[in-house]
Amino acid sequence: MTITTNIMNTDHVKELLHKAAGLDKETGSARNKQIMHRLLTDIYTMIEDLDITPEEFWQGVNYLNELGANGEAVLLAPGLGFDHFLDLREDAKDALAGELGGTPRTIEGPLYVEGAPLSDGEARMDDGQSPGQEMWLHGQVLDEAGNPLADAIVDIWHADKKGGYSHFDPTQSEFNLRRRIKTDSEGKYRARSIVPSGYGCPPGGSTMKVLESLGRHGNRPAHIHYFVSKPGYKHLTTQINLAGDEYTYDDFAFATRDELVVEAVEVTDSKRITEKGFKDNYLDVEFNISLMQTSDDEKQNKHARARAAASQA
Ligand code: FE
């Protein structure tokens, strides 16, 4: 008999995996059993192939405890590329179904809050208390053929100058920098706001611990999140990155897509500044959106996911 540390293919380990995944039991979820069996098999195999030591294994287990306690799993996920990978898979499914087109999707991130105030055509997003350069954010929602889409809901959320989001940053008022705007008869939406800053993962946090061990940073460029929807059209989850930010093309969360990088234009013309009711030079940000038609009800809604709601604040 040959003595070896390659034990993955032994009957004993196969039986261990089978039982650990509940495959010898009638009850439970077949899908969960399938996923768990695969997950355990892949991890056991990695432990064997990379000769993971008990010290390394328990370091990993204790890290998971800490990650959950800090509520940072939703931050580590985009940092490890999972959110972008899921987007790429949705793109591939669209391609297979012959449904490519429209404004590209990109990651939602963990900081959306349900139920922002709804306005017709135009909204002011900041509460007047947030410092920062003023911004005129506007665009048109169109169908694939370029026809304007009236009554589409453009749900926008972005960070303040410190890179913080209302609801998660207790110093900001409720729904600050979060608005839903219904497009007008020309498919247009307009928002008066302040220019957001990029932000980084909490220093010393669980996500940074991993990223630093990989020689990576945890920064995002300045960006603005969008959900865009209208009955009969595919729900779009996307965001724009402002050009010129140090991290525009080096986002730790991999959300940047070329079509979503927007050149913001600084407006210095005093007539236009006064017209808009701004105090100083402002940034004009234009983002036009193209939605794809669909008769599939499921595709008209954003995918299910636990999201914050203001009532829980
Ligand atoms: Fe964000």
Q: What's the gap in Å between 256 CA and the centre of ligand 1? A: 12
- pLDDT score, position 236: 97
Contact 236, 289 (CB under 8 A): yes
Question: In angstroms, what is the span from residue 274 Cα to ligand 1's centroid?
Answer: 30
CA dist list (Å): 178 to 36, 133, 266: 38, 17, 23
15 CA → ligand 1 middle, Å? 45
Residues 183-204: b if buried by 16+ CB within 10 A, e if exposed: bbeebbbbbbbbbbbbbbbeee
Interval 250-270 mean pLDDT = 96
Q: Which of 64, 76, 20 is nearest to 214 (CA)?
A: 76
CA of 214 to the centre of ligand 1 (A): 23
Q: What backbone torsions phi and psi does residue 140 show, to the nearest 5 degrees? A: -130, 140
Question: 150 CA distance to ligand 1 centroid (A)?
Answer: 27
Distance 179 CA to ligand 1 centre (A): 15
What integer best gives the mean pLDDT of the chain?
Answer: 95
CB atoms within 10 A of CB 298: 10
Q: Which residues contact 99 (CB under 8 A, 6 or more apart)?
A: 234, 292, 294
CA–centroid distance, 195 to ligand 1, in Å, is: 13
Ligand 1 center–CA 198 separation, angstroms: 8
The confidence band for 310, taking pLDDT boundaries of 50, 70 and 90, is confident
Strands 199-200 and 308-309, how do they pair?
A: unpaired
Q: At 178, is the pLDDT very low, low, confident or very high (cuts 50, 70, 90)?
A: very high
pLDDT tier for residue 311 given thresholds of 50, 70 and 90: low
Asked whether the CA dihedral 103, 145, 265, 195 is positive or negative, the reply is negative
Q: What is the DSSP track for 66-82?
A: HHHHTT-HHHHHHHTTH
Q: Is the pLDDT of residue 163 over 70?
A: yes
State the distance from the centre of ligand 1 to the C-alpha of 170, rounded, in angstroms: 16
Residue closest to 15 by CA, chosen among 39, 52, 35, 41: 41
- Compute the distance from residue 162 Cα to the ligand 1 centre, in Å: 12
Distance (Å) from CA 191 to ligand 1 centroid: 18
Give 159 Cα–ligand 1 centroid separation in angstroms: 7
Q: Is the pLDDT of residue 313 over 50?
A: no
- For 25, the token pair is 């039991």
Q: Per-residue pLDDT tens for 101-142?
A: 999 999 999 999 999 999 999 999 999 998 999 999 999 999
According to the model, what pLDDT value does residue 312 have? 44
Element (H, E) at 62: helix 54-69
Long-range interactions of 297-303: CB distance < 8 A, separation 24+: 299/234, 299/235, 300/229, 300/231, 300/232, 300/233, 300/234, 300/235, 301/229, 301/235, 302/108, 302/227, 302/229, 302/235, 302/237
Helices (H) and strands (E) in the chain, counts: 7, 16
Task: Please write the tens of the pLDDT for every residue from 71-96.
Answer: 999 999 999 999 999 999 999 999 99
Contact 130, 194 (CB under 8 A): yes
Rounded to a whole number, what is the largest CA-CA distance in the chain? 89
Please report the pLDDT score of residue 309 as a whole number: 86
User: Of the candidates 170, 157, 135, 164, which has an alpha carbon nearest to the alpha carbon of residue 237?
Assistant: 157
The answer to whether residues 216 and 200 touch, using CB atoms and an 8 Å cutoff, is: no
pLDDT level of residue 1 (50, 70, 90 thresholds): low
Q: What is the pTM of this model?
A: 0.93
Cα of 97 vs centre of ligand 1, distance in Å, is: 30
User: How much is the pLDDT for 3?
Assistant: 77
- For 182-224, the pLDDT digits (tens) are 999 999 999 999 999 999 999 999 999 999 999 999 999 999 9
What are the tokens at 221? 């460029």
Centre of ligand 1 from the C-alpha of residue 111, in Å: 7
CA of 239 to the centre of ligand 1 (A): 8
What is residue 303's predicted lDDT score, i.e. its pLDDT? 87
Rounded to the nearest angstrom, the distance between the alpha carbon of 251 and the centre of ligand 1 is 11
Q: Answer whether residue 273 shows pLDDT above 50.
A: yes
CA of 47 to the centre of ligand 1 (A): 35
Residues 11, 17, 20, CA angle at the centre, nearest 5°?
A: 135
Distance 306 CA to ligand 1 centre (A): 16
**Could you tell me the domains of the chain?**
104-309 (2.60.130.10)
Q: Report the pLDDT averaged over residues 281-304.
A: 94
Cα 199 to ligand 1 centre (Å):
8
| Band (246; pLDDT cuts 50, 70, 90) | very high
Instruction: Judge contact between 190 and 121, C-beta under 8 A.
Output: yes
Residue 120 is inside which H or E element, if any? strand 118-120
Would you give the end-to-end CA distance of the chain in angstroms?
64
Distance 116 CA to ligand 1 centre (A): 16
